[in-house]
Every structure is written in structure tokens, then in C-alpha cells.
């Protein structure tokens, strides 16, 4: 604490991402990374990269990457924005579009980073509870507002909303921006990407960190009407006119182009998710219906905090949130088949299961 800190900084609780411990033999199922390596095309870019080129600045407009994303989504380049991970895209979105006189609507339980931005930028926010079965009911998002944001599928609950409900929301809120954070959408949910043609108030944010196995490269992006994209570009240029480094731009393009690998990798994660869900259910766990690369689960007899510690003692890391309402659940990332088999065997050996 310092007398030089602004009031916003004094009360700020910084976001703490999941642990990245360096322990040999640890099975890491706590931060929703992809268990499989990036596409072979990404490896080829890295292997053949000529380091001499690093003396040059990267393309500040990320034109080739934006074009590749636009082509992949069937949109135009001026409907695409890129940033250092979707966390940066979200930060710029809060700064550029969600600091409004009317309150921002968001789920009570969602990606906790939203609240860091809300506090940092002093945004008036109304948190809307999930339903009893942990769903986002978009009908609850009504009344005067200066914007709406939620993750779809939601995190850490893993459940998705359907596009019909989203369309109704967009039509009911034509005067505010609706931001849909689709960090996990590729694992089986319906993406709202194509709706940006129809709805100028929709901004869709995605990432290369999950389905493209590039969390270490920090590449995120947004699709939206050119006016929304321009707002993000204006704020971005005020801070850092080079949003992505050269390697991040090139590896991201390679990842988009390798469509076969992408699909195969997603399908493997989805298959492993089904298997894991079945096994957990056999052990008496309740598992929410997941469209993500993780499951959100609880056991009626054994408290989640105890299970988390038990797994940790056995070198398996999963995520437990202390937030009331979700504090008896575990969020378990879908790893490789072997990792999930080890998780299930470990749980089977628990004396109370």
C-alpha cells in the first residue's frame, strides 16, 4: 500500500491464474490447457524461423493473421481484432466499450477476471445469479444496461447457452454491446461468430490458448462490426501499437491453416471428456453438461476441498474455487487419456468413494 496509489489500485484484488508449479511427474488438470501439442505446422514455423528477422518490428496491423482469421470465419478483415491472449482483448473491450453510465450486466459466476476489470475501471456492474442448475438464463438479462458480458460456454461451469436465446438477447438490447467470451467454444458449443454480420451490437472473443494449444504464445481475437473493432484499435494503439510479436503472428496463422489437426485434436478431447464424465458418474459424482475442455463436478458425500487436497497429495492438480455457491465443485481439465485414467484410478482408491 502506498499513498501514491489511486483509490482504484488500493482496493484492487489482482487476478491470480491457476498455479504453474514445476514439479516432476505432476498431472496438471488445473488451468484448462490443451494436453496435446500445437499443430505440426506450428512446429515447422518455429524450426525454420530465421532469428535474424527479429531485429525488425512485427507488422503492427497483424494483417496476415487478421486475414487468415477472417477467411476462416467467412468475415472481412475489418471485422477482426487481435491481441495478446483474449485477456488483453477483454481488457481493451472493457476500456473501449463497457465503461458506460448505465450498469454492465454479467453472471454472478463466470470468468473471474471480468471483476478485476470492473474494479480497475470503476464500472458500475449488476451481477445476475445463475439458475439453480448453474445455467445462464439470458431472459434474466433485462432492464436498462450499458452492456452485457458472459462466457459461452460459461466458466467454470462448462454449460453453454444456445444461439436462439442469444439472438433474442441481442434483439432486446440493440442499444448496448453484448460481449460473448467464447474461449472454450470449439469443444462442442455453437459459436456466435456468424451473427456479427447481422447484429452490430455483438462482439465475439476467442483465443488460441485452448483449442489451438497455444496458451504460451498469447494470441486472442475478436469478431464484430467494424465500428466495434475500430473502438478496440483506438484504445490498443494508445497503449501499444504492436499487439503481437512476430512469432505469435506466424504460429497463429500456421495453427489456423492446419484444419485437420485441429479437428482431430478437438475430437480427442471431446471423446476423453465423455469417458471421464461416465467414470466420474460411476463413482457417484454429479457432472454438469460440458461443452468445454473441462468438467465441473461435485460429489454428494465428499467435500470438494477434501478431494482437491487428496488429489494434490497424489500429484494431480485440479481447480477448486472458494467462492460460495461453487465451493463444493471441482473444475477438472480434460487431459490425455492416460492422465484421465490416472485421475479416475486415484479417485477409485479414495476410501470414501
Q: Residues interacting with ligand PMP, by CB under 6 A?
A: 85-87, 111, 151, 155, 181, 183, 207, 209, 215, 220
85 vs 299, beta carbon nearer ligand PMP = 85
Comparing every residue's Cβ against ligand PMP, the nearest one is 85
Which lies closer to ligand PMP via its Cβ, residue 123 or residue 151? Answer: 151
> From the CB of 159, what's the least distance to ligand PMP, in Å?
13
Q: Please report how close the Cβ of residue 252 comes to ligand PMP at its closest, in angstroms.
A: 11
Judged by beta carbon, residue 157 or residue 279, the one nearer ligand PMP is 157
Query: Distance between terminal CA atoms of the chain?
Result: 46
Closer residue to ligand PMP, CB minimum distance, 94 or 310: 94
Task: Provide, rounded to whole angstroms, the least separation between the CB of residue 31 and ligand PMP.
Answer: 7
How many other C-beta atoms lie within 10 A of the C-beta of residue 165?
15
How many Cα atoms sit within 13 Å of 145 on the Cβ side? 25
Provide the minimum distance between the beta carbon of 15 and ligand PMP in the complex, in angstroms, as a whole number.
9
* Shortest Cβ 348–ligand PMP spacing (Å): 29
| Rounded Cα distance, 46 and 40, in Å | 10
For the bound state, the minimum distance from the C-beta of residue 114 to ligand PMP, rounded and expressed in Å, comes to 9
- Asked if 292 contacts 182 with a C-beta cutoff of 8 angstroms, the reply is no
C-beta of residue 81 within 8 angstroms of C-beta of residue 128: no
In this complex, which beta carbon is closest to ligand PMP, that of residue 77 or of residue 331? 331
**CB nearer ligand PMP, residue 207 or residue 298:** 207
Considering beta carbons, is residue 111 or 296 the nearer one to ligand PMP?
Answer: 111
> Which of these, 75, 67, 140, 65, lies nearest to 109 by C-alpha position?
140
| Least spacing, CB of residue 138 vs ligand PMP, in Å | 17
Q: What is the torsional sign of CA 161, 118, 155, 288? A: negative
Which CB atom, from 148 or from 302, has the smaller least distance to ligand PMP? 148
- Residue position matching grid coordinates 471485422: 79
**Minimum CB–partner distance for residue 30 and ligand PMP (Å):** 11
Q: Where are the beta strands (DSSP E) in 233-314?
A: 286-287, 294-298
Cell of 124: 458500475
Q: Which is nearest to 92 in space by CA: 192, 199, 177? A: 177
- State how far the Cα of 160 lies from the Cα of 136, in Å rounded to an integer: 8
Long-range pairs, 232-239, Cβ under 8 A, ≥24: 232/81, 232/83, 232/89, 232/92, 232/93, 232/96, 232/97, 233/81, 234/96, 235/92, 235/95, 235/96, 236/81, 236/83, 236/92
Amino acid at each position: 500500500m502506498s499513498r501514491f496509489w489511486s483509490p482504484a489500485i488500493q482496493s484492487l484484488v489482482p487476478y491470480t491464474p491457476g498455479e504453474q508449479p514445476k514439479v516432476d511427474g505432476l498431472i496438471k488438470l488445473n488451468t484448462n490447457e490443451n494436453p496435446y501439442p500445437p499443430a505440426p505446422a506450428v512446429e515447422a514455423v518455429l524450426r525454420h524461423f530465421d532469428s535474424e528477422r527479429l531485429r525488425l518490428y512485427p507488422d503492427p496491423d497483424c494483417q496476415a493473421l487478421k486475414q487468415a482469421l477472417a477467411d476462416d470465419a467467412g468475415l472481412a478483415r475489418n471485422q477482426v481484432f487481435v491481441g495478446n491472449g483474449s485477456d488483453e482483448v477483454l481488457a481493451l473491450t472493457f476500456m473501449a466499450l463497457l465503461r458506460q453510465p448505465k450498469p454492465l450486466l454479467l453472471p454472478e459466476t463466470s470468468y473471474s477476471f471480468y471483476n478485476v476489470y470492473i474494479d480497475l475501471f470503476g464500472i458500475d456492474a449488476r451481477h445476475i445469479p445463475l439458475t439453480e442448475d448453474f445455467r445462464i438464463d439470458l431472459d434474466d438479462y433485462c432492464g436498462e444496461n450499458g452492456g452485457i458480458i458472459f462466457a459461452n460456454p460459461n466458466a467454470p461451469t462448462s454449460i453453454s447457452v444456445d444461439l436462439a436465446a442469444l439472438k433474442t438477447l441481442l434483439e432486446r438490447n440493440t442499444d448496448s454491446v453484448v460481449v460473448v467470451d467464447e474461449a472454450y467454444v470449439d469443444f462442442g458449443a455453437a459459436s456466435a461468430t456468424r451473427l456479427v454480420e447481422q447484429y452490430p451490437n455483438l462482439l465475439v472473443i476467442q483465443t488460441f490458448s485452448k483449442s489451438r494449444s497455444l496458451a504460451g504464445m498469447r494470441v486472442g481475437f475478436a469478431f464484430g462490426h467494424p465500428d466495434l473493432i475500430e473502438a478496440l484499435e483506438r484504445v490498443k494503439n494508445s497503449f501499444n501499437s504492436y499487439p503481437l510479436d512476430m512469432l505469435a503472428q506466424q504460429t497463429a496463422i500456421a495453427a489456423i491453416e492446419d484444419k485437420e489437426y485441429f479437428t482431430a485434436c478437438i475430437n480427442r478431447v471431446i471423446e476423453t471428456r465423455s469417458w471421464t464424465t461416465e467414470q466420474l458418474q460411476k463413482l457417484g459424482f454429479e457432472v454438469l453438461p460440458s461443452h468445454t475442455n473441462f468438467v465441473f463436478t461435485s460429489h454428494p458425500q465428499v467435500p470438494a476441498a477434501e478431494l482437491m487436497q487428496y488429489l494434490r497429495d497424489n500429484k494431480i492438480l485440479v481447480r477448486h474455487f472458494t467462492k460460495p455457491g461453487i465451493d463444493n465443485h471441482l473444475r477438472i481439465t480434460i487431459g490425455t487419456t492416460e492422465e484421465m485414467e490416472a485421475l479416475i484410478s486415484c479417485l477409485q482408491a479414495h476410501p470414501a468413494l
